């Protein structure tokens, strides 16, 4: 069990983001201590690692919510979840190609200025 501050540290999300993800239903119901304090489990942290990956790669929050919703519905949604992730992976690959092309252009410009002296 992890206190919210530890879950935030381990996931790289702020406490506000953790609260927001819980509020919108992205993160399932977080457990509470007898004193009413939120506690996160290893399963919660696993979800947060996935959400970090999806967010960092540009998946819209609505798609992240859809994925989480499907996962909670059970194994019969595995195909739809895979399709959602595959579609996102295609967008990530396109973005990576674009960034590589832009990076190559940037490096060429730097080499130009290096030649100037």
pLDDT at 95 over 90: yes
pLDDT digit string, tens, across residues 1-44: 899 999 999 999 999 999 999 999 999 888 998 898 999 999 99
The pLDDT of residue 80 is 97
Q: Report the distance separating Cα 96 and Cα 90, nearest Å.
A: 10
H or E segment at 39? Answer: strand 38-39
Q: Any idea how long the chain is?
A: 117
Helix, strand, coil proportions of the chain in percent (round to 5)? 75, 5, 20
When computed from its CA atoms, the radius of gyration of the chain, rounded to whole angstroms, is 19
Residues 64, 39, single domain; the answer is no
Residues 52, 102, single domain; the answer is no
**End position of a domain, from candidates 29, 56, 83:** 56
Residue numbers of the domain that contains 16: 1-56
In this structure, of 20-34, 52-66, 68-82, the range with the lowest mean pLDDT score is: 20-34
The CATH number of residue 20's host domain is 1.10.1660.10
**End position of a domain, from candidates 35, 56, 77:** 56
Residues 1, 46, single domain; the answer is yes
> pTM value?
0.82
Provide the domain count of the chain. 2
Strand partners, 40: 2
Task: Confirm if 45 and 86 have CB atoms less than 8 A apart.
Answer: no
Residues 72, 103, single domain; the answer is yes
H or E segment at 6? Answer: helix 4-11
């Amino acid at each position: 069990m992890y206190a919210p501050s530890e879950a935030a540290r381990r996931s790289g999300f702020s406490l506000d983001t953790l609260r927001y993800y819980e509020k919108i239903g992205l993160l399932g119901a977080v457990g509470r201590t007898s004193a009413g304090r939120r506690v996160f489990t290893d399963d919660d942290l696993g979800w947060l690692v996935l959400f970090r990956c999806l967010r960092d790669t540009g998946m819209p929050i609505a798609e992240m919510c859809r994925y989480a919703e499907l996962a909670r519905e059970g194994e019969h949604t595995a195909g739809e979840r895979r399709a959602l992730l595959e579609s996102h992976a295609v967008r990530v690959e396109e973005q990576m190609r674009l960034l590589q092309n832009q990076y190559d252009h940037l490096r060429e410009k730097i080499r130009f200025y290096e030649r100037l002296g």
